[in-house]
C-alpha cells in the first residue's frame, strides 16, 4: 500500500542560534545570542487545528521568538532555519517568501516592519499627523490595504505572479472592522486603535483566499457533515453557522444605569475649587475640512449650553480618559501637549495662559518649550519617534531635553534620579540582568533603546515621563504591552516612587525609604495625572475622575464621573464609565 504523502512543515528550525548582529562584528555593543541551539517546527497540516500560544515573563523573548519565525535576525548556521512548505506548488508564487506568507500584528508593529507603511516612517515629528497639508508621497489607508505603499505607486504594475486583492474581500474586511469611513485618510491620521484594526485588515486581505474558494470549502464541509462523510469539528458546529460574521456593537447601550443621570454630561464640580487649573478647555471642537474629530456635541455648563469639549484639570487631580477608537482621546493629548496646530486657535489655557495672548495685554506667548518642560508624556506616538540609537540611559535623561536628540540639562539631583531609576528598573530594562550586577549600571550605556524588548521600551518611556516630577503627567496607553507584574510595578512607582515595593502581592515599605535614600517620589498633590487606557487593569489605582468620550460623530456628549475607589478591582465601576 502506497504511504499517504505528508506535507513539509511551514517553518523548520534545527539547532539554530540567533543574533541581532553578526557575531563576528567589530562593534563594541553587547551582542549575546537571542536563542541558542533552538529547534522548532510548525506543521503545515495536522489531524486537528493547532493554535500556539507563546507565554513567558517580561524579557523572556516572546516577541523576539515570533520575529525569528518570520525571518528576522541572523541565524547560525543559515541553513538551520528554513520554510519547506513555502517552496511547494501548493503555495501561490506571491507567498513563497516568509515576508509575504507570514503576517505579524503586534503592539511593536510600527518598529518591526509590520506597521502601517511596512516600517516606513509616515511622519518626521509628532505634529505631522494633525497638519492639514498632505505630501504627494502620503498614502491612504486604501493604499495600505491594497499594498500600494511604494514611493511611486502609480508606476508600479503587479507582476503576473502576484494576485490582485478581490474588491469583494476588501469591502467585507473593511466593513467588519469598521474602516469604511477611513479608507481615503492618510494612514498618519489614524488613531492608535484604528491603526491596529488597519494592520489586522491588512493581514486578512493579504492571506485569505478568494471569497469563492472560502465559501466553496465551507459548503463542502457542511455537506460532508450532514451526509455523514465528515466528522463535525467542535470549533465549527453547524448550529452556530448563522452567528458567523455577526458584529458586536462598539458603542455603549443607550439605556444607561440609574446612577448616570443628566449631571454626568456636565463638567464635574472640583473637589478642591482652590486648586490651580493646569488645563482649561472651554468649548474645544477639532475639525479637518468640515469633518469633526472631537467635540461634536453640546455640553451643559453653569452658564448654559456650549458646543465642544469643556474640561478643567487641576493640581492634585487624577483623571482617566476613555472612549472607543477614533473618539478623540489622543487628539486631546495632542492639544494639551501643544503638538496639535489647532491648539493655537482653540479656547485652551495651559497653566493659566493661552497659546497666543490677547493683543495689547503685553503678556508673553506660551511657547512650545514652556509647555514641554512642564508636561511628562508617554504614548505610542512618542514611542514611534524616540530614536532607536539612544542608549537606555539617554532615553531616561531625555526627560530634561527640549527635543528627542537635544543634550539634556542635568544637575546633580537629576543625575541621582536617573541612577536611582536605572537601579530600580534594572530587572525590566537590563536584557542580561542578574542580582549580582545590580549596582553596576554600565549596561545602561551599552544597550541601545532599539535593542530592548517592546515591554522594556515602554518601561523606559514611562520612567522618562514622570522622573522629572512635571506639573502634568500624561500616560496614553503607556502600559500596553507590559506583563502584569511589570505593569503593576510601574503603576505603584507612579504613585509611590521608591517608597513602596511589591513583595508578592503585598505592598511594603522599601529599603530606600527605611534608610532615607528615596530619590524619586511618587505623584504629589501639586501634580495632575491624565491617563488613557482601554482595559481597567492599566488604569492606576489613584485615578478618581473620569471623562468618557462618545463614538465619533454620534452627537452624544462626553460624560464625566467620579470614582470611589480603584477601577481595576471593581467591574461595576468600569461598566459605569462605559455606560453599561
Q: What is the average pLDDT score of the chain?
A: 81
In this structure, the answer to whether residues 504 and 536 fall within a common structural domain is: no
Beta bridge pairs of residue 502: 507
Residues 445 and 414 in one domain: yes
> Is there a single domain that holds both residue 280 and residue 369?
yes
Q: What's 538's domain CATH number?
A: 3.40.50.300
Determine the average pLDDT of the residues in 516-539: 94
Whose grid coordinates read 513583595? Answer: 503
Lowest-pLDDT range, 62-76, 238-252, 424-438? 238-252
Range of the domain at 48: 1-98
Full 3-state SS string of 341-395: HHHHCCCEEECCEECCCCCCCCCCCCCHHHHHCCEEEECHHHHHHCCCCCEHHHH
Query: What pLDDT, on the 0 to 100 scale, is given for residue 253?
Result: 46
What is the pLDDT confidence band of residue 423, given thresholds at 50, 70 and 90? very high
Question: DSSP states of 278-324 as a string?
Answer: EEEEEEE-EEETTEEEE--SEEEETTEEEESEEEEEETT-EEEEE-S
Q: Identify whether 413 is part of a domain.
A: yes
Whether this prediction's pTM lies above 0.85 is answered by: no
Claim to verify: residue 342 and residue 300 sit in the same structural domain? yes
According to DSSP, residue 426 is labeled: H
**pLDDT tier at 237 (50, 70, 90 boundaries)?**
low
The C-alpha atoms of residue 49 and residue 489 are separated, in whole angstroms, by 37
Q: What is the pLDDT of residue 495?
A: 95
Which triple of cell numbers denotes residue 296? 461634536
Residue 153: per-residue pLDDT:
46
With b for 16 or more beta-carbon neighbours within 10 A and e for fewer, the 79-92 pattern comes to ebbbbebbeeeebe
pLDDT for the residue 164: 65
Choose between 433 and 499: higher pLDDT. 499
| pLDDT (0 to 100) of residue 299 | 86
Confidence of residue 28 (pLDDT cuts 50, 70, 90): low
Q: Do you know the residue count of the chain? A: 580
Residue 194's pLDDT is 81
The three-state secondary structure class of 74 is strand
User: Looking at the predicted structure, is the pLDDT value of residue 512 above 50?
Assistant: yes
The DSSP symbol for 548 reads: E
At residue 161, the pLDDT reads 45
- Where do runs of H (alpha helix) occur along 179-291? 192-207, 211-227
Say whether pLDDT at 528 is over 80: yes
Residue bearing the bigger pLDDT, 411 or 58: 411
Check residue 258 and give its pLDDT: 39
% the chain with pLDDT above 70: 78
CA distance 322 to 252: 12
- At 446 the pLDDT is 92
What was the pLDDT predicted at 48?
A: 63
In a domain, 178, yes or no: no
- How wide is the angle at C-alpha 43 spanned by C-alphas 42 and 49, nearest 5°? 105
Is 21 a domain residue? yes
Residues 485 and 541 in one domain: no
Calculate mean pLDDT across residues 460-489.
Answer: 94
Same domain? 393 vs 347: no
> What is the structure's pLDDT at 244?
39
Look at 132 and 262; give whichever has higher pLDDT: 132
pLDDT in tens, 150-197: 554 444 455 544 456 778 888 888 888 888 888 887 777 777 778 878
Domain's final residue, options 80, 98, 116: 98
Pair 509, 574 in one domain = no
Domain count, the chain: 3
Q: What is the pLDDT of residues 109-133, one digit of tens each?
A: 444 444 454 444 445 566 666 665 4
Determine if residue 58 is left, alpha or beta; phi over 0 gives left, psi from -120 to 50 gives alpha, anything else beta: beta
CB 7 within 8 A of CB 42: no
**pLDDT value of residue 428:** 93
Whether the Cβ atoms of residue 28 and residue 22 lie closer than 8 Å to each other: no
Mark out the alpha helices in 41-89 (DSSP H runs).
62-69
Contact 479, 491 (CB under 8 A): yes
Residue 59 lies in a domain: yes
The answer to whether position 139 is within a domain reads no
CB proximity list for 488: less than 8 A, separation 6 or greater = 502
pLDDT above 90: residue 549: yes
Banded model confidence at residue 220, pLDDT cuts 50, 70, 90: low
Same domain, 412 and 511: yes
How far is residue 178 from each of residues 103, 110, 262, 417, measured CA to CA in Å?
Answer: 21, 21, 30, 45
Residue 233 counted as domain residue? no
Q: Once rounded to an integer, what is the mean pLDDT over residues 504-524?
A: 92
C-alpha cell at 290: 468640515
* Domain match, 327 and 430 both: no
**Whether residues 508 and 554 fall in one domain:** no
Say if 493 falls within a structural domain.
yes
The average pLDDT across 13-31 equals: 79
Asked whether residue 555 falls in the same domain as residue 541, the answer is yes
pLDDT of 318 above 90: yes
Does residue 386 share a domain with residue 365? no
Is residue 502 assigned to a domain? yes
For a pLDDT cut of 90, what percent of the chain falls above it?
A: 36
Lowest mean per-residue pLDDT among 23-32, 118-127, 551-560, 571-580: 118-127
Q: Which residues have a Cβ under 8 Å from the Cβ of 530 and sit 6 or more positions away?
A: 279, 313, 319, 321, 333, 336, 472, 473, 474, 475
Amino acid at each position: 500500500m502506497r504511504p499517504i504523502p505528508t506535507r513539509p512543515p511551514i517553518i523548520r528550525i534545527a539547532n539554530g542560534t540567533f543574533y541581532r548582529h553578526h557575531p563576528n562584528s567589530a562593534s563594541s555593543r553587547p551582542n549575546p545570542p537571542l536563542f541558542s541551539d533552538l529547534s522548532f517546527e510548525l506543521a503545515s497540516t495536522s489531524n486537528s487545528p493547532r493554535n500556539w500560544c507563546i507565554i513567558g515573563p517580561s524579557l523572556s523573548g516572546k516577541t523576539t521568538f515570533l520575529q525569528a519565525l518570520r525571518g528576522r535576525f541572523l541565524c547560525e548556521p543559515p541553513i538551520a532555519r528554513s520554510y519547506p512548505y513555502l517552496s511547494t506548488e501548493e503555495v501561490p508564487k506571491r507567498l513563497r517568501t516568509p515576508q509575504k506568507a507570514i503576517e505579524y500584528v503586534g503592539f511593536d508593529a510600527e518598529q518591526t516592519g509590520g506597521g502601517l507603511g511596512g516600517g516606513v516612517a509616515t511622519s518626521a515629528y509628532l505634529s505631522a499627523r494633525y497638519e492639514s497639508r498632505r505630501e504627494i508621497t502620503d498614502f491612504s489607508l486604501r493604499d495600505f490595504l491594497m499594498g500600494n505603499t511604494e514611493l511611486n505607486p502609480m508606476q508600479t504594475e503587479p507582476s503576473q505572479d502576484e494576485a490582485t486583492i478581490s474588491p469583494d474581500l476588501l469591502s467585507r474586511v473593511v466593513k467588519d472592522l469598521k474602516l469604511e469611513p477611513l479608507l481615503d485618510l492618510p494612514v498618519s491620521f489614524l488613531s492608535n486603535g484604528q491603526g491596529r484594526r488597519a494592520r489586522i485588515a491588512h493581514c486578512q486581505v493579504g492571506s485569505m483566499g478568494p471569497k469563492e474558494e472560502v465559501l466553496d470549502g465551507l459548503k463542502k464541509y457542511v455537506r460532508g457533515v450532514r451526509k455523514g462523510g465528515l466528522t463535525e469539528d467542535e470549533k465549527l458546529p453547524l448550529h452556530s453557522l448563522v452567528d458567523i460574521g455577526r458584529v458586536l456593537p462598539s458603542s455603549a447601550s443607550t439605556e444607561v444605569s440609574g446612577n448616570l443621570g443628566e449631571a454626568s454630561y456636565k463638567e464635574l464640580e472640583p473637589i478642591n475649587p482652590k486648586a490651580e487649573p493646569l488645563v482649561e478647555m472651554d468649548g474645544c471642537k477639532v475639525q479637518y475640512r468640515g469633518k469633526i474629530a472631537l467635540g461634536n456635541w453640546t455640553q451643559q455648563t453653569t452658564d448654559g449650553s456650549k458646543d465642544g469639549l469643556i474640561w478643567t484639570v487641576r493640581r492634585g487631580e487624577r483623571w482617566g480618559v476613555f472612549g472607543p477608537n477614533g473618539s478623540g482621546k489622543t487628539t486631546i493629548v495632542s492639544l494639551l501637549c501643544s503638538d496639535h496646530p489647532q491648539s493655537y486657535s482653540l479656547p485652551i489655557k495651559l497653566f493659566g495662559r493661552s497659546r497666543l495672548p490677547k493683543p495689547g495685554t503685553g503678556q508673553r506667548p506660551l511657547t512650545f518649550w514652556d509647555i514641554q518642560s512642564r508636561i511628562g508624556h508617554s504614548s505610542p506616538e512618542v514611542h514611534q519617534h524616540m530614536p532607536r540609537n539612544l542608549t537606555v540611559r539617554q532615553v531616561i535623561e531625555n526627560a530634561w531635553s527640549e527635543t528627542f536628540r537635544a543634550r539634556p540639562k542635568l544637575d546633580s539631583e537629576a543625575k541621582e534620579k536617573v541612577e536611582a531609576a536605572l537601579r530600580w528598573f534594572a530587572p525590566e530594562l537590563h536584557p542580561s540582568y542578574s542580582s549580582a550586577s545590580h549596582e553596576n549600571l554600565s549596561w545602561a550605556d551599552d544597550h541601545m533603546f532599539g535593542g530592548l524588548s517592546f515591554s522594556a521600551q515602554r518601561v523606559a518611556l514611562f520612567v522618562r515621563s514622570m522622573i522629572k516630577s512635571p506639573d502634568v503627567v500624561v500616560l496614553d496607553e503607556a502600559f500596553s504591552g507590559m506583563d502584569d507584574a511589570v505593569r503593576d510595578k510601574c503603576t505603584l512607582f507612579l504613585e509611590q516612587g521608591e517608597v513602596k515595593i511589591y513583595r508578592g502581592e503585598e505592598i511594603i515599605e522599601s529599603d530606600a525609604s527605611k534608610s532615607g535614600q528615596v530619590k524619586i517620589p511618587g505623584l504629589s498633590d501639586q501634580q495632575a495625572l491624565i491617563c488613557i487606557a482601554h482595559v481597567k487593569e492599566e488604569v492606576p489605582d489613584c485615578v478618581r475622575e473620569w471623562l468618557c468620550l462618545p463614538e465619533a460623530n454620534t452627537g452624544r456628549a462626553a460624560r464625566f464621573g467620579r470614582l470611589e475607589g480603584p477601577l481595576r478591582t471593581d467591574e461595576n465601576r468600569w461598566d459605569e464609565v462605559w455606560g453599561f
